[in-house]
Amino acid sequence: MAKNPKYDPTDPAIVPRFSDIATLLRTKRLEATEEVDIGLCGVPFDLAVNYRAGQRSGPAAVREASRLIRRCHPTSGIAPFDIANICDIGDCLINPMNKEKSIDQIEAYFDGLMEKGITPIAIGGDHTIPLPILRALKKKYGKMGILHVDAHADVLDTICGDKINHATFMRRAMEEGILDPERVIQIGMRGSRFEPEDFTYSLESGYTVITMDDYEEMGRKAAIEKIVTTLGDGPIYISIDIDGLDPAYMPGTGVPELGGIIPRDMQVILRALQGKEIVGADICEYAPALDPTGITGVGIANLAFEILCITADSLQKYGRL
Ligand SMILES: [Mn+2]
C-alpha cells in the first residue's frame, strides 16, 4: 500500500505500542504548518463546568489511550494516513486562571489553523470549547450544519448567571449566526432537567432533536436516515459530548446520565457520515480522574479514529488535500 510521502506514520506492527511518547492516534507530533492536512489537537480547558471538573486532563489521557489504535478502518477500509498528512499538533494554549482569556485564545488558535488550511479534530476539554472553535470555522466556511451528540441539548441561556459555559454553546452559536438550523441535528438527549423548557430553544430554533426516547422508538436505521438527511449538503461540524454515550461504557465524565447511546451505535452513526463535507470535529467532557479503568479514554480514541477516517475521506472527495 502506497504511503503518503509527506508522512511516515508510526506503525504499531513495527514499533511496539508501549514504547515512545504517546500522541493522539499514534501520529507524529509536529508543529501546525501548512503541510498538515488534519491537525489532531488537545484543548485542555475545564473552567466552565457546573459539576465535576478535570476535563483539562482529557487530551493527555487520550494520547495514552491512543496507543491501541491501528492504521486502517475495519469496515470502510479507509487508511487515513495514506490519504492525508495527519499530525498531533499539540495542545491549544489556554489560561487556567481566566475563562474569558482562554475562550479568546482558543478562537485565535483555530483562526491560525484555518489560515494554514488545517482541518481540526479537537479533544477537549469541557463542552464550552466548540463555541470558540466554531467562531473560527465560521470565518472560513460560513454557516454550518452540526451533528451534536450529547445527553444535554446545551441550549440553556445561563447557568449561575453566566452565558458562556458547557451548557450553552448550541444557543450562543445560533445567536451568533454560526449554525444553519435546518442542518442541525442533536441526538442522545435524556436525564432530569432543570426546567420543563430546557429544550424549547432547540425546537423553536428549528433544530432536529432525537432524544433517547425517540431513538429507541425509531431504531438506529431510521435515526441514521434522519441524521444524514438533516445534515444535507454543505459544510458540517461534529461535536460529541462523551456523556451522550451510556455511562456504563463511558463513565469518565462530569455529568453522567443513564440510558445513553451505546458505542456500537455511535460507530455506525459516524460511518454513515462518509461522503459529507466535514470541516472539523471535537470530542469533549472526558475527565480521566473519573475513569478508573481507562475504558472511556479507549472509547474516545476509537471514536476519534472513526472521525479521522471519514474526515480524511471527505478532504479527498472535496479536493482539499
Ligand atoms: Mn454538552
180 annotated binding-site participant:
no
Q: What is the 3-state secondary structure (H, E, C) of 152-208?
A: CCCCCCCECCECCCCCCHHHHHHHCCCEEEEEEEEEEECCCCCCCCCCHHHHHHCCE
How many A from CA of 209 to the centre of ligand 1? 14
Does 128 have pLDDT greater than 70? Answer: yes
How many A from CA of 172 to the centre of ligand 1? 13
According to DSSP, the residues that pair with 284 across neighbouring strands are: 241
Q: Which amino acid is at 213?
A: D
Q: Is the pTM of this model over 0.95?
A: yes
Angle of the 295-317 helix axis to the 58-65 helix axis, nearest 10: 80
Among residues 168, 157, 149, the alpha carbon closest in space to that of 231 is found at: 149
Contacts of 192-200 spanning 24+ positions with Cβ under 8 A: 194/156, 198/152, 198/153, 198/155, 198/156, 199/153, 199/155
313 annotated binding-site participant:
no
The grid coordinates listed for 83 are 490519504
pLDDT in tens, 169-196: 999 999 999 999 999 999 999 999 998 8
Predicted local confidence at residue 9, as pLDDT? 55
152 annotated binding-site participant:
yes
How many A from CA of 188 to the centre of ligand 1? 10
User: Which residue bears the cell 483562526?
Assistant: 111
> Residue 136: enclosing H or E segment and its boundaries?
helix 130-141
pLDDT in tens, 7-64: 455 688 888 888 889 999 999 999 999 999 999 999 999 999 999 999 999 999 999 9
- Phi and psi at residue 176, to the nearest 5°: -90, 5
Among residues 201, 195, 207, 282, the alpha carbon closest in space to that of 242 is found at: 282
The grid coordinates listed for 249 are 461504557
Q: Which amino acid is at 24?
A: L
The grid coordinates listed for 131 are 463555541
pLDDT in tens, 225-246: 999 999 999 999 999 999 999 9
The grid coordinates listed for 304 are 476519534
* Cα–Cα distance for residue pair 270/273, rounded to 1 Å: 5
Predicted local confidence at residue 8, as pLDDT? 53
How many A from CA of 259 to the centre of ligand 1? 16
Predicted local confidence at residue 27, as pLDDT? 94
How many A from CA of 164 to the centre of ligand 1? 12
Does 1 have pLDDT greater than 80? Answer: no
Predicted local confidence at residue 20, as pLDDT? 87
How many A from CA of 284 to the centre of ligand 1? 8
User: Peptide bond preceding 125: is omega within 30 degrees of 0, i.e. cis?
Assistant: yes
CATH topology of domain 26-317: Arginase; Chain A (3.40.800)
Predicted local confidence at residue 10, as pLDDT? 66
* Cα–Cα distance for residue pair 57/165, rounded to 1 Å: 18
Does 141 have pLDDT greater than 90? Answer: yes
246 annotated binding-site participant:
no
How many A from CA of 134 to the centre of ligand 1? 14
* Cα–Cα distance for residue pair 67/187, rounded to 1 Å: 29
Non-local (6+) Cβ contacts of 217 within 8 A are none
Predicted local confidence at residue 197, as pLDDT? 87
User: Which residue bears the cell 487508511?
Assistant: 79
Mean pLDDT of all residues belonging to the chain = 95
pLDDT in tens, 268-314: 999 999 999 999 999 999 999 999 999 999 999 999 999 999 999 99
Q: How far is CA 252 from CA 12, 65, 75, in A?
A: 26, 13, 27
Predicted local confidence at residue 14, as pLDDT? 82
282 annotated binding-site participant:
no
154 annotated binding-site participant:
yes
How many A from CA of 72 to the centre of ligand 1? 30
How many A from CA of 310 to the centre of ligand 1? 22
Q: What percent of the chain clears pLDDT 70, i.e. is strictly above it? A: 97
How many A from CA of 47 to the centre of ligand 1? 14
How many A from CA of 218 to the centre of ligand 1? 23
Predicted local confidence at residue 19, as pLDDT? 86
